[in-house]
Structure 1
Amino acid sequence: MEDTAAPKLPATPWWTRAVVYQVYPRSFADSTGDGIGDLGGIRGRLDHLAELGVDAIWLSPVYPSPQHDNGYDIKDYQDIDPIFGSLAEFDALLTEAHARGLKIVMDLVVNHTSDEHPWFMQSRSSADNPKRDWYWWRPAAEGGGPPNGWGSAFSGPAWTLDPTTDEYYLHLFATQQPDLNWENPEVRRAVYSMMNWWLDRGVDGFRMDVINFIAKHTELVSGPQRSLDGGSPMGPQIHDYLQEMHAAVFAGRSGEHLTVGEMPGVTIDDALLFTDPARAEVDMIFQFEHVSLDQGESKFHALPRSLPALKASLGRWQTGLAATGWNSLYLNNHDQPRLVSRFGNDTEFRYESATLWALVLHLHRGTPYIYQGEEIGMTNVRFESIDEYRDIESLNHYREAVAEGDQSPATVLAGVHAMGRDNARTPMQWDASAHAGFTTGTPWIAANPNYTQVNVAADRAGDRSIFRFYQRLIELRHTLPTVCLGDFTMLEPQHESLYAFTRTLGAETLLVVANAADAPLDMPLPADVTGAELLLGNYPASSGAALRPWEARLYRLAAHTANS
């Protein structure tokens, strides 16, 4: 697909032309038959990823953990949990991935640890322990109760009273995930040392979990019964911390390492600072604005999708980071519902809507992230009982909402069906054999019952393969500089079903037109595509001005059209 007439790609970091694939190890592939995915399972499926064409694998946590939050509660940062394998197996995975040209990006979870981490066990042992100040400890507020009104992201207060010293510790997430105190320089040095240890081992970067939360509004933490009122806990120290991290970990290393920070609640102005290369903080961030648009008073209150609102959000970020900084591009991950169920039609037009959103997302400017199963159009799961779910956030929400009595159990369960994190965490669907070919044992969470129809083997063998469509998209990013670096212009921003935009670099203009609806659409576009070159489409013989249901096309416009 190389085009010698296309604009040449300037010297830019490797991740500007890369695609990253997220592996959720518990659910990807089980090599031992214990029902839990592991490093051996990932090693056995590396050829699938290499054939897909991705450049890097982001591994969700594989460190030793009590698994209260599926590994995001870490008790040892420099080892591998036995349920996933060993350090030797990790080294083998790293070697085999690199041999296939695949980079490995680790999940870095340093806003909090497990309450079983030796640091916290020492910290809670006495008020004068040397590691006491490694975490956030506060006495009860005047009159009793937590030091302030902050709430946990997983329901309930963000403070828990520890009887050993009769003080409260802070946990923005689960009770078993106490927050580290980054104001203590010893904490920061310990984290940087650990990061260097992994980079020295050969890993290629880090995805940084809720990294903006490491900086707290200290005046609120210390104040009596003060609350964020729904805002972000991110404090102003965050830029100092990230610049210090960059200097201590990445500066002076040979090669380029990927750093992507998950940052709930940040704005475009924040992102401009975080991702400005001159500031040396992170390469890109995960922001949440576009995946919050269909949520009501809580994430479990699903609202109808508004395409104009989604376009406005994504387009705003494209424009905001056009001159400085970089976007990460995603529509689902381990914390979000499946994109074909959330944004498309996962029954009658599953292939069409899965490929439409793939084309739309990958033609934006930024680094695309594919979540495991996305490349075959895996869908949300609808378990009949809350007992079949495993996610701590969903379970806590269900119990709390049912106890409050404002909604029926069926209504609460419907919210979990739509927005719960287990939608993304059911086993990867490899084939139509028992448990979707994920394990020979009993899986830790049941496979989606539709695995007999929706699986890798069936998709790759089919005439209409979502996997092959992703292959072509990735090839375009690798070969067309305009896909990587072209300017972005949104077209028809208020249209209810048309998602259309151009990407322009030099004299080349690419046009994306996509009909995100179940009904046909006549394209209301000023540009005449009659003489344009169709580079990719998700229907056979795509032509003319009428778009079929969930049809998406990518054109290279003729020079006279692009300049008219």
Structure 2
Amino acid sequence: MNESVRLPDARPPRPWWQGAVIYQIYPRSFADSNGDGIGDLPGIRRHLDYVASLGVDAIWLSPFFTSPMKDFGYDVADYCDVAPVFGTLADFDALVARAHALGLRVVIDQVYCHTSDEHAWFAESRSSRTNPKADWYVWADAKPDGSPPSNWQSVFGGPAWTWDARRQQYYMHNFLKEQPQLHGHNPEVQDALLETARFWLDRGVDGFRLDAINFMMHDPALTDNPPAPPSDRPRTRPFDYQLRLYNQGHADIVPFLERIGALLDHYDARFTVAEVGGEDAEREMKLFTAGEHRLNTAYGFDFLYAEALTPETVDHAVSGWDDAPGVGWPSWAFENHDAPRALSRWPTPGHERAFAACKMMLLMCLRGNVFLYNGEELALTQVDVAYEDLQDPEAIANWPMTLSRDGARTPVPWLADAPNCGFSTGRPWLPLGHDHAALAVDRQEGDAGSMLHLTRRMTALRKAHPALAVGDWRVLHAGPALLAFERTAGGQTLLCAFNLGAQPVEWAPAQPARWRTIETVNGATDWAFPAYGAVVAERMG
């Protein structure tokens, strides 16, 4: 009798990053190794076993480069070195080696829109109008009345232009005045940025997150932005009163992204993700990731600033990305260093624990990559940081109208009964939350029902079922509270159903007997969903 022969799978293996779970580490707040109250690279390295235990595929490190820290690392003074407060290049190399030994990829930030005003490039550029780097930043003459060259506004408040007496010109900055805008159209600037990318690729990094990349290029004609139409959304900054048509989103960004793609083609299994914000984010994300020669994926702010987590919000965000040829691959985050902690803005009061479990399961069931922010696996809450303790320049400038980003950047609690919850032996750079000791890692390790253990369960669920990581997406029901969708891949179909409200609901699919439950949270059973109850079931036959 002839034995049956299994034919090889003709499909190419999917890249490691497609459907990956990536754990964001904010270095200042993760773990301090030397007692100065600020997290550092050796502190991260010592806790990588913990990160690997979460079942994630990679870490993303927020900036650790040389910087005066006006915007906590997003104002880079040297792209190719480590800020002394975080350690040394040798510390970084040791971190990468340990991460790789644990099977973790390493993704780092790249900030290509601007530098610090203390960067050597800017020091040379501002010295005269004729020096070799004179055109490396966006400079422009004043209008005849001395006012700025255009009406563009900074994200952090006030005009996007600052006068410089050395050149008798204005320089542009979309963010802080200490973050002068690079002239992204300039091929020499692009070449220099690509060399910094090569520097880190050669040190073994596995990919890049491109910060605010849709701000990289502007309209060279400096055309004024038109006013934004009336809105019921709160406006706390002049930036909110404009349609940002001319100071961001320029078409020439795409060819530069293709240059990045071409560079990474020389390295094995590398990864790129764009951060894209603004009203035109979905179009730009798809543009930046279309085809095979641009970026691998992008994420926006669909959830990060959403007022509520509703079935409609999820359906609108995820269903906008189909699997048609040439359409890019999405990424999703419910929390990060720029947005308030989800547990302090979304759940009905009194249901925070149940909501945290439901939210984590939902995140792990979405089509696309998943970004998990440090502390999210512990269900950390937003910390109400007193004005005198604020560090965030945006919050200080717009206090009390802008919610401080500091509240989501507070230190990770490791040991409930240790000073500063084991984060540091010194005074932390930001205060810990009054309720965070009870959520510390050591407490949750000892509680089988904790959010930490549930997070591990959910990442394992995603890894065990490719349908969750890369499968097709089809919404079955999106009501006021109940969201149900199917994920299908490789002959497997999973049904994922979530009650995103605090009141019990009932819902059942057609032919409910065909489904076998494989995971639940918050007591959901037999298609009855208590507050924030959720079910993942597999279709039988």
Q: Does structure 2 retain, via aligned residues, the 8 Å contact 1:356–1:550?
A: yes
- Return the letter of the residue paired with 1:483: L
Matches of 1:530 and 1:353, distance apart in 2 = 28
Contact 1:150 1:226 in 2 (8 A): no
Identify which range, 311-320 or 357-366, moves more after superposition: 311-320
Displacement of 1:322 after TM fit?
8.3
Verify the 8 A CA contact 1:530 1:544 in the aligned structure 2: no
Confirm whether residue 387 of structure 1 aligns to residue 400 of structure 2. no
Secondary structure, counterpart of 1:83 in structure 2: coil
**Map of 1:558 onto structure 2:** 540
Show the 5 A alignment for 1:407-556: 412=401, 416=403, 420-432=404-416, 433-493=418-478, 495-523=479-507, 525-530=508-513, 532-539=515-522, 542-556=524-538
**AA at the equivalent of 1:242:** L
Distance 1:316 1:218, change over 3 A: farther
- For the residue of structure 2 that corresponds to 1:328, the secondary structure is strand
Given the superposition, is the C-alpha separation of residues 529 and 463 from structure 1 closer, same or farther in structure 2, using an over 3 Å criterion? farther
Alignment of 1:106-255 (within 5 A): 106-219=108-221, 221=222, 223=223, 229-232=242-245, 233-247=248-262, 249-253=263-267, 255=268
Which has a greater percent of helix? 1
CA contact (8 A) 1:113 1:178 kept: yes
Contact 1:268 1:321 in 2 (8 A): no
Give secondary structure in 1 for the equivalent of 2:537: strand
1:134 aligned counterpart, secondary structure: coil
Between the aligned partners of 1:239 and 1:206, the Cα distance in structure 2 is 16
| Distance verdict in 2 for CA 1:21–1:227, change over 3 Å | same
1:274 is matched with: 288
| Maintained 8 Å contact 2:173/2:180 | yes
Q: CA deviation at 1:467?
A: 1.6
The CA distance in 2 between the partners of 1:539 and 1:184, in whole Å, is: 55
The offset of 1:426, in angstroms, is 0.5
**8 Å contact from structure 2 (residues 303, 333) kept in 1:** no
Output the TM-score relative to the length of structure 1. Answer: 0.87
How far off is 1:318 after superposition?
3.5
Deviation at 1:10, TM superposition (A): 5.6
User: Which one-letter code corresponds to 2:277 in the other structure?
Assistant: P
**1:530 deviation in Å?**
4.5
Q: Which residue in 2 is equivalent to 1:340?
A: 343
CA distance in 2, matches of 1:321, 1:376: 37
Whole-Å separation in 2 of the counterparts to 1:292 and 1:472:
27
Superposed CA offset, 1:132-168 (max 9, x none): 1000001111322111011100111100001112210
How well do the aligned residues superpose, as a CA RMSD in angstroms? 2.2
Counterpart amino acid of residue 397 in structure 2: N
Q: Residues of 1 paired with 2:420 and 2:50: CA distance?
A: 19
Amino acid at match of 2:152: W
Q: Is the 8 A contact 1:529 1:557 kept in 2?
A: no
1:276, distance to aligned residue in structure 2 (A): 2.6
Contact preservation (8 Å) 1:268, 1:320: no
Structure 2 contact 31–412 (Cα < 8 Å) conserved = yes
After superposing the two structures, state which structure 1 stretch, 199-208 or 453-462, moved more.
453-462
For 1:184 and 1:128, locate their aligned partners in 2 and report how far apart those are by CA, in whole Å: 15
Is 1:142–1:224's contact at 8 Å kept on the other side of the alignment? Answer: no
Measured against aligned partners, the alpha-carbon deviations of 1:288-324 in whole angstroms (never above 9, x if no partner) come to 2343443xxxxxxxxxx26244134223334377873
Question: Are the aligned partners of 1:315 and 1:490 in contact in 2 as well (CA < 8 Å)?
Answer: no
Say if 1:306 and 1:496, in contact at 8 Å, map to a contact too.
Answer: no
Q: When the two structures are aligned, how many residues end up with a matched partner?
A: 517
Aligned AA for 2:389?
A: E
